[in-house]
Structure 1
Amino acid sequence: MNGQINKEICQIVPSLPPDINGVGDYALNLANQLRLDFGINTHFIICDPAWVGSDKLEGFQVDRISYRSAKSLIAQLVNIEPKSPILLHYVGYGYAKRGCPTWLINGLKTWNHQCQQVHLVTMFHETSAFGPIWTSAFWFSATQRFLVKQLIRLSDRIFTSKRSYAELLQSYAPRKFTTIPSIPVFSTVGEPKNPSSLSERTRRLVIFGGRSQRIKVYEDSLEQLLQICRYLDIQQICDIGPVLDTLPAEIDNISITAAGCLPSEKISTILSNSIAGFFSYHPAFLGKSTIFAAYCAHRVIPISATMTDLPEEGLQPGKHYALPDQYNTERRNMALMQAIADQAYAWYQVHNLSAQAKTYYTLLSDLDVPQP
Structure 2
Amino acid sequence: MTTPAPVTCIIPGLPPAIDGVGDHALNLARQLRVDFGIETHFVVGNPYWAGAKEIEGFPINKVTVRSVANLLSVLDGNCQRSPTILLHYVGYGYAKRGCPLWLVNGLEKWRRASSDRTLVTMFHELYATGPIWASSFWLSPLQKNLAVRLAKLSDRCLTSEERYAQLLYQFTSGKQIQIPTLPVFSNIGEPAQVPPLTHRLRRLVVFGGSSNRRRVYQRSLAALERTCQELEIEEILDVGPPTGLYLSVVNGIPVVVMGKRTAPEISKILLSSIAGFFDYNTEYLAKSTIFAAYCAHGLIPIGIFYSELELNGLSAGKHYWLADRPTGRLSLEVGQAIANNAYTWYQTHNLSVQAKTFATQLLSQNN
Which bracket does the TM-score occupy, shorter chain normalised? over 0.9
Normalized against structure 2, the TM-score is what? 0.96
CA offsets 1:157-189 (integer angstroms, 9 cap, x no match): 011000011111111112311222211110010
Taking the aligned partners of 1:70 and 1:5, their CA distance within structure 2 comes to: 31
From 54, 57, 74, the equivalent of 1:56 is: 54
Partner of 2:287: 288
Structure 1 SS opposite 2:321:
coil
**More displaced, 314-323 or 76-85?**
76-85
Matched ranges for 1:90-105 at <5 A: 90-105=89-104
Aligned-pair CA distance for 1:332: 5.6
Alignment gaps of 5+ in structure 2:
none
From 33, 38, 41, the equivalent of 1:40 is: 38
Structure 2 SS opposite 1:127:
coil
Match status 1:66 vs 2:52 = no
CA contact 1:46–1:65 (8 Å) conserved in 2: yes
Aligned-pair CA distance for 1:326: 5.0
Aligned-pair CA distance for 1:328: 9.0
Matched ranges for 1:1-372 at <5 A: 6-78=4-76, 79-325=78-324, 327=326, 333-368=331-366, 370=367
CA offsets 1:43-74 (integer angstroms, 9 cap, x no match): 00001111111101122101111111111111
Alignment gaps of 5+ in structure 1:
none
Taking the aligned partners of 1:327 and 1:128, their CA distance within structure 2 comes to: 33
Relative contact order (alpha carbons < 8 A, sep ≥ 6): 1 or 2 greater? 1
Taking the aligned partners of 1:202 and 1:118, their CA distance within structure 2 comes to: 53
Letter in 2 for 1:365: L
CA offsets 1:110-154 (integer angstroms, 9 cap, x no match): 112323311000000000000110000100000001111111121
Note closer, same or farther for the CA distance 1:233–1:6 as it changes in structure 2 (3 Å cut). same
Note closer, same or farther for the CA distance 1:114–1:219 as it changes in structure 2 (3 Å cut). same
Taking the aligned partners of 1:107 and 1:5, their CA distance within structure 2 comes to: 28
Taking the aligned partners of 2:32 and 2:327, their CA distance within structure 1 comes to: 46
Aligned-pair CA distance for 1:210: 1.1
Letter in 2 for 1:44: F
Note closer, same or farther for the CA distance 1:133–1:293 as it changes in structure 2 (3 Å cut). same
Runs of 4+ more than 6 Å apart? none
RMSD value over aligned CA atoms?
1.7
Structure 1 SS opposite 2:276:
strand
Structure 1 SS opposite 2:190:
coil
Letter in 2 for 1:66: T
Letter in 2 for 1:349: Q
Letter in 2 for 1:366: S
Count residues with an aligned counterpart: 366
Structure 2 SS opposite 1:320:
coil
Taking the aligned partners of 1:286 and 1:327, their CA distance within structure 2 comes to: 18
Structure 2 SS opposite 1:121:
strand
Structure 1 SS opposite 2:150:
helix
CA contact 2:4–2:37 (8 Å) conserved in 1: no
CA offsets 1:292-329 (integer angstroms, 9 cap, x no match): 00000000000012253232100010000012245599
State percent identity of aligned pairs. Answer: 48
Structure 1 SS opposite 2:188:
coil
Letter in 2 for 1:105: V
Taking the aligned partners of 1:51 and 1:66, their CA distance within structure 2 comes to: 9
Aligned-pair CA distance for 1:31: 0.3
Taking the aligned partners of 1:243 and 1:258, their CA distance within structure 2 comes to: 9
Structure 2 SS opposite 1:45:
strand
